[in-house]
Amino acid sequence: MPKSLSLGNGNILVCTDKRAQVRDFYFPYVGLENHVGGHYTHRVGVFADYQLNWFDHSNWDIHIRSSDQSLLGETTAKNNVLGVTLNFSDIVYNEKNIFLREVKVTNDSDRERTIKLFFGHEFEMYESHRGDTAYFDPINHVVIHYNGKRVFLINGLSEKGSFDDYTAGIFKIEGKEGSFKDAEDGVLSKNLIEHGPSDSVVGFYLDIAPHESKTFYYWVAAAESIKEALDLNAYTLEKNPGHLLRTTRDYWHAWVNKYNFSFYGLTQDEISLFKRSVFTIRTHADNRGAIIASADSDMLQNGRDTYSYMWPRDGAFSAMAFDMVGDFNVAERFFDFCEHVITDDGYFMHKYRSDESLGSSWHPWMRNGKIELPIQEDETALVLIALWHHYTQSKDIEFIEKIYNTLVKRAADFMVGYRDPKTRLPKASYDLWEEKFGIHTFTSASVYQALMVAAKFAKLLGKEKSEHIYTTAAFEIRQSILNFLYDEETGTFIKMINVSEDGTITSDRTLDMSSVYGVFAFGILDIDDPRLARAIKQVEDRILLKTAVGGVARYEGDLYFRDATGVPGNPWIITTLWLAQYYIARAKKESDFAPVHQWLEWAVRHTTQSGVFSEQLHPYSGEPLSATPLTWSHSEYIMTVIKYLNKLVELGICLRCNPLYQEK
At 512, is the pLDDT very low, low, confident or very high (cuts 50, 70, 90)?
A: very high
Compute, in degrees rounded to 10, the torsion defined by CA atoms 512, 619, 291, 635: 80
Number of domains in the chain: 3
**CATH code at position 241:** 2.70.98.10
pLDDT exceeds 70 at position 523? yes
- Mean per-residue pLDDT of the chain: 96
Of 536, 335, 513, 351, nearest to 430 by C-alpha is 351
Interval 155-198: pLDDT, tens: 999 999 999 999 999 998 888 889 999 999 999 999 999 999 99
Residues 442 and 581 in one domain: no
The mean pLDDT of 193-208, rounded to a whole number, is 97
Interval 476-503: pLDDT, tens: 999 999 999 999 999 999 999 999 988 8
Question: Helix axis angle, 513-521 relative to 441-460, nearest 10°?
Answer: 20
Q: What's residue 302's pLDDT?
A: 46
Asked if residue 304 is part of any domain, the answer here is no
pLDDT exceeds 50 at position 637? yes
The mean pLDDT of 233-261, rounded to a whole number, is 97
Residues 484 and 532 in one domain: yes
φ, ψ at 25 (rounded to 5°): -140, 95
Residues 389 and 456 in one domain: yes
**CATH code at position 379:** 1.50.10.10
pLDDT exceeds 60 at position 303? no
Distance CA 64, CA 74 (A): 6
Of 489, 498, 495, nearest to 509 by C-alpha is 495
Asked if residue 232 is part of any domain, the answer here is yes
At 644, is the pLDDT very low, low, confident or very high (cuts 50, 70, 90)?
A: very high
Strand partners, 310: 352
Q: What's residue 299's pLDDT?
A: 61
Query: Could you tell me how far CA 606 lies from the centroid of its own chain?
Result: 16
Residues 97 and 64 in one domain: yes
Half-sphere exposure of 534 (CA within 13 A, CB side): 12
Cβ atoms of residues 616 and 572 within 8 Å: yes
Least confident interval from 137-151, 435-449, 623-637, 650-664:
650-664
Q: What's residue 278's pLDDT?
A: 97
Residues 174 and 74 in one domain: yes
Neighbours of 530 (CB within 10 A): 10
Q: What's residue 301's pLDDT?
A: 47
Q: What's residue 305's pLDDT?
A: 80
β-pairing verdict for 60-66 and 142-147:
unpaired
Distance CA 203, CA 169 (A): 15
* pTM, rounded to two decimals: 0.96
Residues 507 and 649 in one domain: no
Residues 599 and 624 in one domain: yes
Which residues fall within 8 angstroms of residue 615, CB to CB, at 6 or more apart?
A: 294, 572, 573, 574, 625, 626, 627, 628, 630, 632, 633
Domain-ending residue, one of 542, 566, 598: 542
Of 309, 377, 320, 318, nearest to 633 by C-alpha is 318
Residues 482 and 625 in one domain: no
pLDDT exceeds 60 at position 519? yes
Cβ atoms of residues 5 and 16 within 8 Å: yes
Asked if residue 534 is part of any domain, the answer here is yes
The mean pLDDT of 408-431, rounded to a whole number, is 98
Residues 556 and 480 in one domain: no
The CA-atom distances, in angstroms, between 196 and each of 39, 135, 190 are 17, 12, 18
Burial code (b: 16+ CB inside 10 Å, e: under 16) for 352-388 equals bbbeeeebebebeeeeeeeebbbbbbbbbbbbbbbbb
Angle at 390 between CA 385 and CA 392, to 5 degrees: 95
Amino acid at 526: D
Asked if residue 501 is part of any domain, the answer here is yes
pLDDT exceeds 80 at position 380? yes
pLDDT exceeds 70 at position 88? yes
The CA-atom distances, in angstroms, between 161 and each of 102, 245, 615 are 15, 18, 44
Domain-ending residue, one of 519, 542, 565: 542
pLDDT exceeds 60 at position 572? yes
Interval 609-635: pLDDT, tens: 999 999 999 999 999 999 999 999 999
Asked if residue 292 is part of any domain, the answer here is no
Domain-ending residue, one of 542, 568, 599: 542
At 2, is the pLDDT very low, low, confident or very high (cuts 50, 70, 90)?
A: confident
Residues 534 and 555 in one domain: no
The mean pLDDT of 102-128, rounded to a whole number, is 96
- Percent of the chain's residues with pLDDT above 70: 99
Which residues fall within 8 angstroms of residue 275, CB to CB, at 6 or more apart?
A: 68, 69, 256
At 1, is the pLDDT very low, low, confident or very high (cuts 50, 70, 90)?
A: low
Residues 586 and 474 in one domain: no
Asked if residue 305 is part of any domain, the answer here is no
**3-state SS string over 32-82?**
EEECCCCCCCECEEEEECCEEEECCCCCEEEEEEECCCCCCEEEEEEECCC
Residues 229 and 314 in one domain: no
Q: What's residue 130's pLDDT?
A: 84
Rg of the chain over all Cα atoms, to the nearest angstrom: 26
Asked if residue 553 is part of any domain, the answer here is yes
Amino acid at 343: T
The mean pLDDT of 92-113, rounded to a whole number, is 98
Least confident interval from 95-109, 164-178, 310-324, 427-441:
164-178
**3-state SS string over 407-476?**
HHHHHHHHHHHCECCCCCCECCEECCCCCCEEEEHHHHHHHHHHHHHHHHHHHHCCCHHHHHHHHHHHHH
Query: Could you tell me how far CA 356 lies from the centroid of its own chain?
Result: 18
Asked if residue 404 is part of any domain, the answer here is yes
* Full residue range of the structural domain in which residue 636 is found: 259-287+543-664
